[in-house]
Structure 1
Amino acid sequence: MKKLIMLLIGLLININLALASTKLNDKIAVIVNNDIILESEINNYVKALKVAQYNTDINLLNDEKLRDQAVQKKIIEKILFQLGEQIGLNITNEKLDVIIKKISDMNNIDINQFRKQLTNKGISYQTYREQIIAQIIISIIRSKELINKIVIYPQEINRLAKQVILDKLNESKVKFSQITLPLSENPSKQQLYKKKKLAENIIIKLKKGQNLNTLRKKYLLKIKNIDWTKIKNTPSVFNKLIINSKKGDILGPIHSGIGFNILKINEFLIHDNNQNTKFSKMKLRFFPLKSYYKKVDYEKKFNALKHIISEFNNKKIDFKIMTTKFNNNLFSINQNYVKLIVFNQNSKQNNYNMLLKLKNNQISQPVKLNSIWYIIQKLNTYKTNKNDIIQKKEALINIINTKLNEEFKYWIKQRIANSYIKIIKNEATH
């Protein structure tokens, strides 16, 4: 009981102190635990929301709904700031200035222009600084508390990677000629059959290399040449066929609302920031080397091992004999510790090039990695597409962000449920 009384007294003292420090015409809008949100803070946020609505041409919400949004947003922000204090987060004004300067530099504008942009969006500079702090706290929560709660399955990555490919292809540009064989509004089955047969006949002739203009004169064709356009902007009935096509392809017949269509792909420009290059990945087996002497000049001793490794690589001796010869030269191969890894171009370039020259099952000369000497056996090599890896990385990042956002929404709901929140205006307590 005494603890409860002391808590209430502390809460009243904090509120009274806050009241004393505010202007007479300002009021408390919300109490969040032992902290407050002022009416002026809510009003400023409502103004920013109104400007955002106006600039984005979205359906305008009335003042009451905007206020509800602002109140909920400020409650979440206040809970985050309280958590920041609990974990001892200390972001000085100097650190915040550096962060904002980096953001303005990324937008290629100076800090004064950046502040002007914020004003045009209805956001005060102080509000923006608070938003940055909130984002830093959210990042800490996501990386330290929520990341271990998410589970990602390989099927999810593969499925989304395919979608990443489709999205990129939809951004690709194409130039094509569209031949339309029009139909009446309610064509009979016979009319449909005749037009389709005509379309199929024209496609056969085009694929055999007949000139499009010659066919236009012969069949009085209606042809429309489409200049560079993104695949996603083409009609949906064309989209799926174009996305899997290449320059020179003849597509159709495509039945649409106006008749049968034939497309001739004239140019195709794939949208991809990454080159579609293939590179080698290697599966390797690592054997640590250990000398029987504590102090030994490894590099000098390794000269004696080169001949032994060469014999093994040329299939003159097997692995067992090679091990025996290593022992005779005062080195042991630790066969109980075998490390299998995949080596690619992101690995150390010198080692990558050296291993790439080896044939499958051959062994490298001794290599020093992280203060330990190894001989490395290349088990196999296979080609992989760089884009496959990039697309899977993009998919993984998207999945992580989506799941972290979902976890954060649940986390903040729990925090709100466990907090003392009183909205003064409508006397509602949550």
Structure 2
Amino acid sequence: MNFKKLLLAALLGLSVSQVVHAERVQIDKIVATVNEGVVLQSEVEQIINRVKEQAKQQSTELPSDRTLRVQAIDRLVDQSLVLQLAERMGMEISDSQLDQTIANIAKEQKSTIADLRRSVEASGESYQAYREEIRKEITVSQVRRANVDRRIYISTQEVANLQKILEQQTGNPEEYNIGHILIKIPSKASPQEIQDARERADNVIDFLNDGKEFKRIAIASSSGPKALEGGQLGWMSINEMPSLFAEAVKGKKKDNIVGPVRSGAGFHILKIQDIRGRQVVETTEVRSRHILIKPSIILSEEKARDMLAGFAKDLRTGEADFAELAKEHSEDPGSALKGGEYDWTDPTTYVPAFKNTLLSLEKNEISEPFRSTFGWHIVQLLDKRTADKTDQAKMNRAHGLLFNRKFKEESFKWQREIREQAHIDIFPTD
């Protein structure tokens, strides 16, 4: 067997004997290189098949396979860059953390892990491949959060100003369901390139005004982060949008096409797909206590989980005291000395795994061990109450809105920067 076959065997995870007995089987192809990494044809086809399946379910017309291929490769290049950064950072998602995330996904869908597995396999996908895709998504999310968070600064004056605006608003603040198309301008673009991009943006607006389907045009034309989802940004209030968008949609009505709006990235086209008033809801607050154990080289994931399972058993039988166990064993410096206790808190401020577990408990109930991004926990719900909005809650809301806006803006800039610093080669199709 020649060297090329051995290389392909290594690339595809096949044994030499498998390659010998599969001479006529279509082999995978490298469609792009990203620094030292590669993008495979099979990965591209998997994304395209998912988009087609979703479009079929939503009765959405799609552009050509060639256009879908460009969009899929673009997404995989961005993903590869972030995963390479994760490797350099030493970030790994353990099987236990992955299992916990998949359990949360199944719970959100009001099903079991077994139901989720059957659904994945019924669609023609491998469940193991699905697991690894979720692992990648968790990794990408955590790397992005780690790198973008530190780029965000919010002053107390910004919070105070927004809080004042929110307090002056009458009635329910409006939320907009936004569709977004970005006609990208190359870095250091020439005047002619800028003009060409503007003309493409104008053409897109003409198509939309003629009644063409927005999702199809977005998939075919947009360079935005949600292109393959038909440019769907979802529901946002004015205060959550990037500043540029907020100014553009003020006073606009449902189904209005807005743009092109120029930014450093290119020309943006927005569609106001729907508008709704925000409903005021009372805030649920919880008082809880927990014990955190962080896995390490010395303490494995399984041992950390088993240790907490033993604590939970002893606590339920009355053979141990929660506060004493927390003071002795918990690795959360903010609560350990208080017996693991947190004061009244809005549970939405906690990470999803902690929040979801806490809200599933009855008063005084102790959870089973569960994994979050911080490590393994057990948590006890001490009390729950419905509280009116306080000045602190208003300040937290204003801060959250500012953070969400700046995170979207900085996340796009950060992804663009790491892409400009990378060596990327995309190979033409046969």
TM-score (norm 2): 0.42
When Rg is computed on C-alpha atoms for both structures, the one with the higher figure is: 1
